[in-house]
Amino acid sequence: MHAAILSIGLVIFLGHLLAGLFQRTRIPDVLLLIGLGIALGPVGLHWVRLEDFGRAGPVLTTIALVVILFEGGLGMPLAALRRGLVDSSGLTLFSAVATVFLVAGIASPDLGWWPAMVLGAILSGTSSAVVLPMVGFLGLSERTRTALALESALTDVLTIVLPFALVPLAVGGDVSSWMVGRDVGVKFIAALVLGWAAGWLWLRLQARARRLRNYFSAMYAFVFVVYGAGEALSVSGAIAVLVAGVTLANPPKWWSAGGETVAVTETDRAIHGEVVFLMKLFFFVYLGLSLRFDELGPYLLAAQLVGAIYLARTLIARVVLPRSVERREAAIASVMAPKGLAAAVVASAAAELLPEGGEAIRDIAFAVVLVSIVATSLVVPLLDLPGPRHLVRVLFRPFAPGSVGGSVKNT
């Protein structure tokens, strides 16, 4: 036990170090955190075993998902949503659909069609934890940064909703695709209403709640209640939490609570950021501990899936992105498809829900998360080298020339 506690302390310190290392090397810190988990776990130093977490591990992964979704909602101002929706909608929709069916087609011989569709839905999004830091340091225009950030936020929701909607079909019960679609629509609307109502309730309580000595613990307790209530009502607690965050971040101008501010302050965002940082540290190290390398099959399949996804996304980006986007930025958008926290958490949940094929889905999804982050980390810096830069000019000729080689933002 003492080794586990020591490891937790070291992970937190190293997490700050790795975040600074990312600013210099552009290697995503989540990739390094996964590597740290591998090094500490049964593959490496044997300091920490997955069994040390017991039943607390799955609970903490769910808490991590709830916290990150809530913080993501708080970071979605409606003005930015409106601006970025037009630029990101085509890339988001077509990439997600292509990913679902490509993954299903490639993985179905091993898993069966509907379990493979569940896997495709799990992998249909991009990772906010990887995309947001990377686009912040690549010298991209505000337009492209907003579009990629919005895509990752929207597909986080899709990654959570769609797999659970397809699980009944994968289980093989007496259910039709039309019934699943109807059920998804009803539950989605119910989750929106629940999240909106919860957000308005907290807006009414917020002025009094801010007087509490431990205000933020009360807020997170409220968020957990919203999630739990949603799940108890058989609607998506994750969506309800996200919508509650959006509602809190965008109170109407005429709304006030006893003359006190209801807006999310910079202090609020800083504290939320600290909590998300700790959740991200835990989860990606936990993911590294969960990886197994005794079988290469999941990683070979993951390499095929990632290659197919990136090829399809490149073709889609070339078609749907506005021609005013610079070539380099269009090329970066075409390979900015790493999978991450939401995919891994949902894959862990799917393993519990699917008696047959659940563990295989989890193992493949974990492998795709690792391979896709590695691929993105390697390919994005290569785009500024002379050879790849020439290929970018050929593939994205219809787009604006822009600056040669691009730039990286220094901090």
pLDDT tens profile 178-230: 666 666 677 778 888 998 898 888 888 877 777 777 778 888 888 899 988 88
Q: How many helices (H) and strands (E) does the chain have?
A: 16, 0
CATH number at residue 137: 1.20.1530.10
12 assigned to some structural domain: no
Say if residues 408 and 26 touch (Cβ distance below 8 Å).
yes
pLDDT score of 411: 38
Copy the structure tokens of residue 37.
């988990």
Any domain includes 37:
no
pLDDT-derived band at 102, boundaries 50, 70, 90:
very high
List own/partner pairs for 171-176 with CB under 8 A and 24 or more apart. 171/353, 171/354, 171/355, 172/114
What are 345-390's pLDDT values in tens digits?
788 878 877 877 788 888 899 899 889 988 988 888 888 788 888 8
In a domain, 21, yes or no: no
The pLDDT tens digits for 302-335 are 999 999 999 999 999 988 888 888 888 889 889 8
Q: Is residue 43 part of a domain?
A: no
Residue tagged 């005013």 (tokens): 324
DSSP string for residues in 151-166:
HHHHHHHHHHHHHHHH
Joined together, the tokens standing for residue 224 give: 């957990």
Token readout for 276 is 């998300």
pLDDT of residue 180: 61
Q: Please check whether residue 362 lies inside any domain of the structure.
A: yes
15-24, 208-217, 258-267, 276-285: segment of lowest average pLDDT? 258-267
Number of structural domains in the chain: 1
Q: Once rounded to an integer, what is the mean pLDDT over residues 160-180?
A: 69
Q: What is the pLDDT of residue 25?
A: 65
Domain membership flag for residue 329: yes
- Residue 279 lies in domain: 51-395
Of 172, 184, 132, which is closest to residue 153 (Cα–Cα)?
Answer: 132
pLDDT tens, 71-83? Answer: 777 766 666 666 6
Burial class (CB within 10 angstroms; exposed 0-12, middle 13-18, buried 19+) of 365: buried
